Chain A
């Protein structure tokens, strides 16, 4: 810091008053950035924390002491008792459905996306360019616009009201971005590596699965994160295609479920906390990898 200021002072011709220097020091110095960041972090977390701490209170205390921690005689599980009543909500089933849909989607998107990305980036074949363009249009065009057509196709294939329809739709939705990200990573791999393997007699499949895939792990992590969040949190397709009890996802379940509890704040807050829990836990455990995945995917773009 001192060397910088000496360097500044040694400069000729720059008309800079001392006021500016003090301002600069304030900006670069730790006070203001931390203040802003602290303020926004508080803004970001406050609603979430507020919900969680109030879910453990009785109704009257939610209103009387909203900011207090649910300790001592403020603590109450009445909301949770209402929520766990099996007559009112089948949370376990919803969770299972969401897991099945999300995990299947992620695996399929990674596998099919990597395969397609590899074919597009590795091999010259007529129509390569057009196919790449065709696949990447999906990045910009939201899949929901074709909902009526999707309903028709699902009806024709006998897939209405199934988890499979959701999975296939989410795969289609996430493939374009996955292919885009993965082909960026794959293009960076040296050609010699793959050619050497070919000379050694390795099959293309072997090269793909054993050589290329492990090398694009950051890209795969990125795709996993980009796919997981919108798939788990989607409301539209579960609402339109799979709203019956057996195939309901957590997100839809929360939406319908909380509708019942609008009068009952304890249950409402408990339901919301429970709905947040899986994502918050996974996020807490994997946030480092997740954000790194997002950043590396973004850097490649």
Chain B
């Protein structure tokens, strides 16, 4: 074991082990090992008394089999739609709000920030219920708002209709989570030196030019981080759909995502018994997708985004 300092003859540095042990043990036992074990189980079939090694059979059935493939690809597609809406709505909105909140002179800055961040502090369950009430045609809150805007024709059961449910839920999720990237963007924008901005303004740059030529490039790395965090978070989503649409992701699986698919598969529902190893296969597939996204970020985006810095 290498000595911590070369100046004194030191005994074995127990303190390093002491410092590291609790974290490493808990992390390994409850995060690393279970993940690897789950992945391992996906190569088995455990519907009988003993798990039987079946190689890639679970994945074969999941991706191509008659029983599982439609559900799987549907959930995967829905998850990507979910993610796209977050990228298209949540992140630009967060950037806009952050830019406004970091303007040089702004009264009530802290108040705005606090209030805008409030939905992010609440649980998804509460948010889901509140919004399902607002969108409920019986109460008609959202519907009367549409009518107020002269869009009365658009009134429909947003969460009950196959065409709109997923998008509605995505937007609800955006509404809840926008505070988080907003905070990250605020931190990034605060970090931009004032002198840089001052110099540009003295040179005659408009606020718009300052944003595009100075702030935006310097914020790009953060945009990258936000993008990958959004990706991971969206593919991990479950709570909102489960709360508002139930584990079967009504209507007709239109709101089914990887999380609900996994939950339903593992526990079984109504006539279909739980299939734990197929569940692990779904988890493994989700893992692959997330890993692909993270790898893409690490190997392509991160370098590109850092290059435009400064």
> Interface of A with B (CB < 8 Å)?
4, 7-8, 11, 14, 16, 20, 23-24, 27-28, 30, 33, 36-37, 40-41, 43-45, 47-48, 50-51, 62-63, 66, 108, 111-113, 115-116, 118-120, 123-126, 131, 134-135, 137-138, 140-150, 152-153, 168-169, 171-173, 175-176, 179, 198, 203-205, 208, 229, 232-233, 235-236, 239, 251, 254-255, 258, 265, 268-269, 272, 275-276, 279-280, 283, 287-288, 291, 294-296, 298-299, 301
Contact = CB atoms under 8 A, between A and B. Distances in A.
Contacts of A204: 13, 15
A134 B139 CA distance: 51
Contacts of B235: 142
B187 interface: yes
Nearest to A233: B123
Contact of B125 (A41, A48, A235): A235
Contact of B190 (A48, A208, A295): A295
Given A40-B116, A295-B183, A135 B123 contact: no
Given A36-B96, A254-B126, A229 B191 contact: no
Contact of A235 (B20, B41, B123, B266): B123
Contact of B236 (A144, A291, A294): A144
Contacts of B93: 40
B146 interface: no
Name the prevailing secondary structure of the B interface residues. helix
A153 B22 contact: no
Nearest to A8: B204
B294 A140 contact: yes
B2 interface: yes
A288 B125 contact: no
Interface residues of B, number: 97
A110 to B, nearest CB: 11
Contacts of B216: none
B186 A295 contact: yes
Given A41-B115, A283-B121, A112 B23 contact: yes
Contacts of B204: 7-8, 11, 14, 16
Given A63-B139, A140-B228, A148-B41, A124 B4 contact: yes
B23 A268 contact: no
Q: Which 8 A-B pairs have the closest CB atoms?
A: A149-B34, A146-B35, A149-B37, A146-B34, A298-B187, A233-B123, A116-B23, A172-B30
Nearest to A159: B30
B242 A235 contact: yes
Given A295-B183, A295-B190, A138 B19 contact: no
B122 interface: yes
A254 B259 CA distance: 20
A173 B114 CA distance: 26
A148 B266 contact: yes
Given A44-B118, A123-B13, A148 B279 contact: yes
Contacts of B253: none
A144 B259 contact: yes
Contact of B130 (A48, A143, A288): A48
Contacts of A229: 120-121
Nearest to A24: B206
B24 to A, nearest CB: 7
Nearest to A109: B23
7 contacts: A41-B112, A44-B116, A145-B287, A152-B37, A258-B125, A279-B121, A288-B110
B119 A152 contact: no
Contact of A299 (B134, B191, B259, B262): B191
B225 A301 contact: yes
Contact of A275 (B15, B23, B123): B123
A37 B101 CA distance: 8
A234 B130 CA distance: 17
A251 to B, nearest CB: 5
B141 to A, nearest CB: 6
A50 B136 CA distance: 14
Contact of A173 (B31, B129, B243): B31
Contact of B116 (A41, A118, A239, A251): A41
B106 A33 contact: yes
A235 B243 contact: yes
Given A37-B112, A233-B123, 15 more contacts: A7-B204, A37-B116, A40-B93, A41-B112, A41-B116, A47-B119, A47-B131, A146-B36, A148-B283, A152-B37, A208-B19, A233-B125, A254-B123, A258-B125, A283-B118
Contact of B283 (A145, A251, A287): A145
Contact of A135 (B16, B24, B106, B290): B24
B223 to A, nearest CB: 13
Contact of A276 (B30, B122, B294): B122
Contacts of B294: 140-141
A20 B190 CA distance: 27
Contact of B38 (A11, A113, A147): A147
B10 to A, nearest CB: 10
